[in-house]
Amino acid sequence: MPLVTTKEMFQKAYDGGYAIGAFNVNNMEIIQGITEAAKEVNAPLILQVSAGARKYANHTYLVKLVEAALIETDLPIALHLDHGDSFELCKSCIDGGFTSVMIDGSHHSFEENIELTKKVVEYAHERGVTVEGELGRLAGIEDDVNVSDEDASYTRPSEVEEFVTRTGVDSLAIAIGTSHGAYKFKPGQKPQLRFDILKEVEERLPNFPIVLHGASSVIPEFVEMINQNGGNMPDAIGIPEEMLREAAKSAVCKINIDSDLRLAMTGSIRKYMAENPAHFDPRQYLTPARAAIKDLVKKKIVNVLGCDGKA
Ligand code: G3H
Ligand code: 13P
Ligand code: ZN
């Protein structure tokens, strides 16, 4: 099966009350772990590539690895640009075979965000590619840029209809209290999401797919694995799974997960190296790392997203 856009998978997810996992990919083992998990539970997938991933692994390598995953799994997979910050970057990914792009104009003014997003939508739609826009700004780390809590802002529901109508975007990322990275809440702070904002957005945008970024749960098992094997991560806190399950049942059709993959991979590599200090063959420590990603993604699909059996 060739790469698909997000159009059909979002419609099915919206109607079915589940969400698709959008997992960040940076190398072969991550792509294999994610896609093998999805294959086993027959789930559609979004594999997303950030500007940083593209810089690290190279556009062509990532596209070819994802094409290999398509051959191996025969699943509906969309290849998506995560946090595109310019028209040029989006164009380069569209021209280079991606089936979906995000243009993240959330750090611009409302009018500038509309102008930039509209330009990307026009280019993308002429070529059959879907586009995700963003309104509101998440805190946390994105491509080496640290957005402080003060600079973060919730999405204003009153702006969403105008944004969607004027830009023509296919989906909209909103800020309701999730954030990027492993430190989403301060120690002692109770994790909270603004479901009231999500509800109002849903009401204002009927039958329209919403995206949640910064949705890793920061699974304690992996933080402990890192800290018990030479790491030193301070109180890392993520989004509780029950909140994500609730979101997945709503208009939220895409849930972005990267940090949990990083923690699973790093935790298992640290553990392996601590237990086998003389080993130096990357295949030895990358085998449990890939297996940890596979296990994690399978659990996310079945226990949180609800998209198992929907491919
Ligand atoms: O939202 C950001 C994603 O986690 C990607 O992170 O830009 O470091 O690849 P990155
Ligand atoms: P996490 O850092 O919570 O995994 O979020 C990833 C993300 O939003 C990618 O765009
Ligand atoms: Zn993000």
**Binding pocket residue ranges, ligand 1, CB within 6 Å:** 24, 50, 52-53, 82-83, 142-143, 180, 258
Query: Of 55-59, 81-85, 144-148, 262-266, which gets the smallest average pLDDT?
Result: 144-148
| Residue 117 clears pLDDT 70, i.e. is over it | yes
Q: Which residue out of 212, 257, 261, 297 has the highest number of ligand 2 atoms within 8 Å of its CB and is therefore the one to mutate?
A: 257
pLDDT in tens, 225-240: 999 999 999 989 999 9
Q: Where residue 279 falls among pLDDT bands split at 50, 70, 90? A: very high
- Quick one: pLDDT at residue 151? 67
Identify which has the larger pLDDT, 188 or 18: 18
* Section 112-122 average pLDDT: 98
pLDDT in tens, 142-157: 666 667 766 679 999 9
* Section 253-276 average pLDDT: 98
pTM for the whole structure: 0.97
Q: Where residue 163 falls among pLDDT bands split at 50, 70, 90? A: very high
Q: Which residue out of 180, 255, 265 has the highest number of ligand 1 atoms within 8 Å of its CB and is therefore the one to mutate?
A: 180
One-letter-per-residue 3-state SS of the chain: CCCCCCHHHHHHHHHHCCCEEEEECCCHHHHHHHHHHHHHHCCCEEEEEEHHHHHHHCHHHHHHHHHHHHHHHCCCEEEEEEEECCHHHHHHHHHCCCCEEEECCCCCCHHHHHHHHHHHHHHHHHCCCEEEEEECECEEEECCEEECCCCCECCCHHHHHHHHHHHCCCEEEECCCCEECCECCCCCCCCCCCHHHHHHHHHHCCCCCEEECCCCCCCHHHHHHHHCCCCCCCCCECCCHHHHHHHHHCCEEEEEECHHHHHHHHHHHHHHHHHCCCCCCHHHHHHHHHHHHHHHHHHHHHHHHCCCCCC
